[in-house]
Amino acid sequence: MDWSKIFAEALPYTEFLDRYATPAQRSRWDAMHPQFSLSAEQTALLAGFVRRMPVLCLAGAWCGDCINQCPAFDHFAQVSPALELRFLDRDAQTEVRDALAINGGHRVPVVVFLSEDGQEVSRYGERTLSTYRKLAIDQLGAACPTGLVPPSAEATATVTAEWLAEFERAQLILRLSPRLRQKYND
């Protein structure tokens, strides 16, 4: 998979929504975005990222899980100059969708963390552990959230922390990479 080519064809957060979201979907994304916030510690962590890290998110503007998680990624990218965040519609490139299938399904969001030269560092998706725990406890409702009812502030903070841990993990992989340490003499 040529991740650099795929990343180059993907869109920034706002452009992705402009292209793929219906007005109703866009209003849910826009309502969810301010529900995310970063603590001073989280902001400092993100601001300390030093390795350029392209981040590709396979998503669907229609997807409740994306509505309830992806705005956090935009907050991360706004704080860290090292992050380059792009979104790709799940159905825009079937070979990417198929390569990122989870448990045989075309789930979203799925994030692929890349090195500056387009190497895959890691991938993570589609729901965080806290989300799965809540679904397991509830055992009610639709299998796929609609994004119509936003999660609680506590749930949003937990999802933010879980995703941030994955972003940090990828950054540390890059930071500790012998190849990149040699390149940057650090």
CATH code assigned at 77? 3.40.30.10
Share of the chain above pLDDT 70, in %: 94
| Model pTM above 0.85 | yes
The sign of the dihedral angle between the CA atoms of 72, 112, 62, 149 is negative
Which residues is 114 bridged to in the sheet? 120
Q: What is the pLDDT of residues 52-84, one digit of tens each?
A: 999 999 999 999 999 999 999 999 999 999 999
Q: What is the pLDDT of residues 93-109, one digit of tens each?
A: 999 999 999 999 999 99
Report, in angstroms and rounded to the nearest whole number, the Rg of the chain calculated over CA atoms: 16
Q: CA end-to-end span of the chain, whole Å?
A: 29
- Number of domains the chain contains: 1
Q: What is the pLDDT of residues 5-14, one digit of tens each?
A: 999 999 999 9
Could you give the CA distance from residue 155 to residue 152 in angstroms, rounded to a whole number? Answer: 5
Domain carrying residue 108: 3-184
